[in-house]
Structure 1
Amino acid sequence: MFSYNQSSTPSGRQWIALSTQSVGIGQGGTVSMIARVSLVDYRGRAIIDTYIRPTAPVASYRTPQTGIEPHHLENGIPFNQARDFVASAIGGKILVGHSLWQDLHVLGLTHPAIDTRDLGLFLPFRVTLRNLNNIIGLQTLMHQLMRRQITVSVQDSVGYPLCQEP
């Protein structure tokens, strides 16, 4: 018989959602470099939502998808400062997001797998949508499971984490 121990359920203070947006560097702008980071707490309050100053010349701002333009990054915070803040904020927390491996990669961070909830990899969602072998996009998940439409024109770096609350 299965018994449920409610005391082992994480409290809201232990959850944090992450979303990043990247611009393209290198030839053709095919290499992603972080340009914006957003962290949202369990209540939907932005902990940080900031642009990050580029550390290399930007070849593609990916403006149609991100809404990011050169003037956004001119006053961005230094990459190391953003990375250190995010590392401190997510330490010891359960990290929620979509395609988190990409967000963590552009930040140069890792997070324990046991404390990571990636909606793109969550098997029950993939089973429900009969798509076991593919990562399902956040827009599709939101539309199919919650009947909510997100990303009408450009990505919303704060809105994405709000969609991902546990």
Structure 2
Amino acid sequence: MGRAALHYGSILGQVASRSQPSPSPGCVFFFPPIHPAIAVAEILQRLRKNPTMGAVELKKNRNFSSQQLNPNWAELQKKLKTLSSKPRRPSDASDLGPSKSVLGKRKDRDGTEPDDSQPNPLIPTHDDCSLTDVLGMDCEMVGVGEGNKSALGRVTLVNKWGNVVYDEFVRPMDRVVDFRTHISGIRPRDLRKAKDFQVVQKKVAELIKGRIIVGHALHNDLKVLLLSHPKEDIRDTSQYQPFHKEGRRKALRHLAAEFLNVTIQNGEHNPVEDARAAMMLYLKNNKRWEKIVKDQIKLQKKQKKRKPKKKPRQKDASLRVDPASTAS
């Protein structure tokens, strides 16, 4: 209705312009406005002669309006028309079917997704650096002799909260020929002001005496320290049976990834980090671990009691003297 009125208005304007003569130059004329009834009558007469006139006028006006558009807009309209005319390709996601959302369903979420909100368990949450009844220990070795012999290069002790209670670089008694930096992280500059082996050995022996030590493959650490420790006070993560897989021992980095969900030993080893990882593995399993140790100690005591006592050897019967024969 609005468009028809618009075009009829344009026709009315044409009628009005035709009914008024154009003024000649230098002359000013005043023409009274055309009467609406006359204009409507002429419009009806023209529509009777050509019923499609309104549509033709509308088409003309459309063409005129499109010609008046900015050329950039006209080009954009062409591009939109071509894009809309192309058939839409199905996306790869639609080909695979509807995706299964796991949002809001805790049990359906993948546990391997990294969660930045969880704190790193190897970072101590307690600032107490005092000695505790349990100490975590880790040593890094360097090569001496021909390079295939290991010597102590660094030793670290942490308490049960993961805080460092002792951490020293060590100058070996023999000349270092291989620093094994890619594993140990030790460089020549680290040993220039390092303490002598005997000093470090004595201090470590004092710290671990009467305490439980926790670590991974502790027999290697005690070997380079030239120290011994009671077997019942050793908690070795490489020897703990529940950590084994099909009877095989796992590396510390694999245990940390599986049970602590942290990555360690990605390149040079950090003895502080390794000692903390071993301590955390022990603390997460200490109740069961201590029960196993107690059961083993009880079993060993029972086995010692059950050992039969050696019977005294009897003399040969032929060497015995019959008292009756001697009396006669």
Tell me the TM-score normalized by structure 1.
0.87
Instruction: Verify: 1:76 aligned to 2:194, yes or no.
Output: yes
- Matches of 2:179 and 2:263, distance apart in 1: 24
How far does the alpha carbon of each residue in 1:35-60 deviate from its partner, in whole angstroms, 9 at most, with x for none? Answer: 00000011111111110012111111
1:138 aligns with 2:248: no
Runs of 4+ in 1 over 3 A off after TM superposition: none
Which residues of 2 match residues 12-23 of structure 1 at below 5 A?
Answer: 13-23=132-142
1:149 Cα shift?
0.7
1:151 maps to 2:265: yes
CA–CA separation in structure 2 for the residues paired with 1:160 and 1:138: 8
SS in 1 for 2:268: coil
Contact 2:136 2:214 in 1 (8 A): yes
What's the % identity of the aligned pairs?
31
Aligned length: 150
Residue aligned with 2:210, SS: coil
Query: Equivalent residue for 1:161?
Result: 275
Question: d(CA) in 2 for partners of 1:44 and 1:84?
Answer: 22
Distance of 1:19 and 1:148 partners within structure 2: 18
Q: For structure 2, which runs of at least 5 residues remain unmatched after alignment? A: 1-130, 284-328
Alignment TM-score, normalising by the size of structure 2: 0.45
What residue identity is the alignment partner of 2:145?
Answer: G
CA 59–146 in structure 1, closer or farther in 2 if over 3 Å, else same = same
* Cα distance in structure 1, aligned partners of 2:173 and 2:268: 23
Give ranges in structure 1 of 5+ residues lacking alignment. Answer: 1-11
Task: Say which structure is richer in helix.
Answer: 2
Higher relative contact order (CA 8 A, sep 6+): 1
Report what 2:89 is aligned to.
none
**Which structure has the greater CA radius of gyration?**
2
Match of 1:61 among 175, 179, 188: 179
Q: Structure 1: how far apart are the matches of 2:196 and 2:186?
A: 17
